[in-house]
């Protein structure tokens, strides 16, 4: 290279994303993004009020007027979260939200992508011999071969 310094692969300047983020948040177009960030921050604050097994299966879905809406991934967590509802409402009120109703909705689990097949095992010597014999037999039966 002629005197220029190249950066190692995988390095990104931290400041390069900032103008894009600022543009995304500018004006009314950024309202949904700002709301999503606010809901995420609120979820993190309220999550500390939940027992850890329940916190892993519940997340804040929305603050809809006076309703605090939570999402869980199974009916058993729905029942357990309903029991924690009064504490969550009190916690939300303590940080300035004017909520009076607690709603829990059960969502369907997100389908997981199929797991990749495990790596193929190496072929045994006997299987390799059988495969070579089969290919040789097919080559001998090739009608285009042997006629001149």
What pLDDT does 113 receive? 77
92 in Cβ contact with 50 (< 8 Å): no
> What's the pLDDT tens digit per position in 60-100?
999 999 999 999 999 999 999 999 999 999 999 999 999 99
**Where is pLDDT greater, at 64 or 12?**
64
**Where is pLDDT greater, at 138 or 147?**
138
101 in Cβ contact with 68 (< 8 Å): yes
Question: What is the average per-residue pLDDT within 38-50?
Answer: 92
What pLDDT does 123 receive? 84
- Give yes or no for residue 13 having a pLDDT over 60: no
Q: Return the beta strands (E) in 65-135 as ranges.
A: 67-72, 101-106
What mean pLDDT is reported for the chain? 81
Q: How many CB atoms lie within 10 A of CB 71?
A: 18
57 in Cβ contact with 70 (< 8 Å): no
How far is it, in rounded angstroms, from Cα 148 to Cα 141?
Answer: 15
How far is it, in rounded angstroms, from Cα 11 to Cα 6?
Answer: 10
80 in Cβ contact with 41 (< 8 Å): no
- Give yes or no for residue 108 having a pLDDT over 90: no
**Residue 52 vs residues 10, 61, 89, 108, 133: alpha-carbon distances, Å:** 35, 18, 18, 21, 60
């Amino acid at each position: 290279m002629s005197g220029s310094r190249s950066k190692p692969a995988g390095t990104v300047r931290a400041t390069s994303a900032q103008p894009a983020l600022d543009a995304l948040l500018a004006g009314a177009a950024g309202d949904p993004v700002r709301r999503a960030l606010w809901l995420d921050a609120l979820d993190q604050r309220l999550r500390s009020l939940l027992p850890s097994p329940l916190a892993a299966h519940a997340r804040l879905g929305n603050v809809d007027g006076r309703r605090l809406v939570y999402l869980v991934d199974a009916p058993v967590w729905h029942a357990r979260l309903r029991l924690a509802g009064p504490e969550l409402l009190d916690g939300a009120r303590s940080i300035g939200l004017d909520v009076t109703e607690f709603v829990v909705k059960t969502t369907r689990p997100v389908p997981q992508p199929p797991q990749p097949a495990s790596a193929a095992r190496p072929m045994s010597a006997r299987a390799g011999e059988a495969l070579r014999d089969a290919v040789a037999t097919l080559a001998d039966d090739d009608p285009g071969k042997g006629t001149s």
